[in-house]
Chains A and B, each alone.
Chain A
Amino acid sequence: MTAPFISIAWPQLMVALSLVTISGAVSVYYQLKLEKDLAIGAVRTFVQLLAMGYVLNILFGLNNALLVMGLYAVMAFFSVRIVHGRVKEKSISYLFPTTAAVLFSCTLITMLVTKVVIGADPWWNPQYFIPIGGMVAGNSMNALAISLERFFSELRTRRDEVEMMLCHGADYKEATVDIFRKALRAGMIPSINAMMGVGLVSIPGMMTGQILAGANPEEAVRYQIVVMFMLVASTALSSIIVLLLVRRRCFSPAMTLLLRNGNGK
């Protein structure tokens, strides 16, 4: 019996790789100096996805809850690392807030979706838990980076305003209420906007993948709807958690703004 989709052989994969050279050519022609990043990115895509494919194959065979959770923890760890690479603020430590946000929100949403919505049995079934968890962690990672970047940049540019509020007797929450709101909105908006264009402008990755793999488009659509809703929930939850924890760390017990400039002031 033949597979319900066209399998991609290695030579075809190499042809696809050549598509990256288009980006490379643009970078060389306009001297964007992106060639190194592009090469590293292409190699990492290849290696990381192939490794993930092998690991998933093994996991599906072993069906072991601890191993599934271990792989999920590795994915969460890398999402935290990537957030740290993207957010430039160095005067406040946000390792714990980011880790807490990813672990809590992503695990909760992924468990809810696999157990309650999809009804997978067991709930950690790697066929569902790993791809769903990966999507949640990936989107939360973007939301966290956007929220944190926005929060820190607003706090720096509006330092005088925050200090003015503190000087009038505001606590740190009152002094940053508008900045907090803006950062939270910035983190949530991409996943909300994605709901607007889905089906009209874009056919999202998961649905595309299922259709290419031969699934009934109506089935694929139902999964995609679940995915869209879960991403909206997880980005909101992770952004709120990280901002609540990071905001507290930006102020001393004396309600003094700890975010300093290069000269210490």
Chain B
Amino acid sequence: MTTQTLDKTALDTPILEFKNVNFSWPGGHGLSDVSFAVPAGQFVLISGPSGAGKSTLLRLAVRLEEVAQGEILLRGSPIDTFNPPELRTRVGFVQQTPVILAGTVRENLLMPFTLQVRKGIPVPDDNVLLEWLEKLALENVALDADALTLSVGQKQRLCLIRSVLPKPDAICFDEPTSSLDRESRECVERVAEDLAGQGIAILMVSHTSYHPACPHMHVTVADGKVEVLS
């Protein structure tokens, strides 16, 4: 376990920081003494064998699981000092299996804006939604289309847009490309890299053969231990 030594100024204000984080599942396995910091605009690629704890790492960042020891900081403040819905507006999470609700594409994309925590926040108009659909090669998908009839790849890209629209500080992607064809996979990876370029911290669990085109940090997880590679 080492702490990534990046640009000092950037490290001074990391968006997310894991500090000596320990976690264990009831079965015994988990994560031990995890420490690394993710500055704004950093692309963090997380890899490791199945069951090593990669997804757990991301779930801890949005408090879907609770840290047993140590702490995770969001812009310097422990995440448990945030109201959980508020925390999750700032740290997005895209699940491995795309989850789409019954309804139209528009309703799915705008779902986060119907929640109490975003009351009063301006809702993106159709032009913004169409721009995003185009960016993710979904220009043929109508906003009024039934979202449940889309393919898995289209649904996954829809989930990505839904997480990006509310403009979080960081987004955690839990193997978002595992069930996608090559074209969809590259599309998702390219957009994630673009988002990092715009200053959003990206944490992506992905296969080892993927090498982001943007500057990135590589984190490997094995047997509950996390190693940070440059």
- Contact of B95 with A171 in the complex, beta carbons under 8 Å: no
Interface mask (B156-180 → A, CB under 8 Å = 1, otherwise 0): 0001001100100000000000000
- Contact of B92 with A167 in the complex, beta carbons under 8 Å: yes
- Contact of B25 with A161 in the complex, beta carbons under 8 Å: no
Q: Of B25, B80, B97, B163, which is within 8 A of A265 by CB?
A: B25
Minimum C-beta distance from A255 to chain B (A): 4
Interface mask (A168-180 → B, CB under 8 Å = 1, otherwise 0): 1111001000000
Inter-chain contacts of B93 with A (CB < 8 A): 167
Interface size on A, residues (CB 8 A): 21
Chain B interface residue number, banded: 20 to 34
Task: Report the bound CA distance from A142 to B210 in whole Å.
Answer: 54
Q: Of B25, B84, B118, B159, which is within 8 A of A255 by CB?
A: B84
- Contact of A169 with B112 in the complex, beta carbons under 8 Å: yes
Task: Report the bound CA distance from A164 to B97 in whole Å.
Answer: 10
Q: Of A164, A170, A264, which is within 8 A of B25 by CB?
A: A264
B115 within 8 A of A: yes
Inter-chain contacts of B92 with A (CB < 8 A): 167-168
Contacts A256-B63, A263-B25; A169 near B95 (Cβ below 8 A)? no
Inter-chain contacts of A160 with B (CB < 8 A): 95, 97, 99
- Contact of B66 with A252 in the complex, beta carbons under 8 Å: yes
Inter-chain contacts of B86 with A (CB < 8 A): 169
Q: B-side interface residues toward A, CB under 8 Å?
A: 25-27, 62-66, 80, 84-86, 88-89, 92-93, 95, 97, 99, 101, 111-112, 115-118, 159, 162-163, 166
Q: A-side interface residues toward B, CB under 8 Å?
A: 160-161, 163-171, 174, 252, 254-257, 260, 263-265
Q: What are the nearest 6 A-B pairs in CB distance?
A: A264-B26, A167-B93, A164-B99, A255-B84, A169-B117, A169-B85
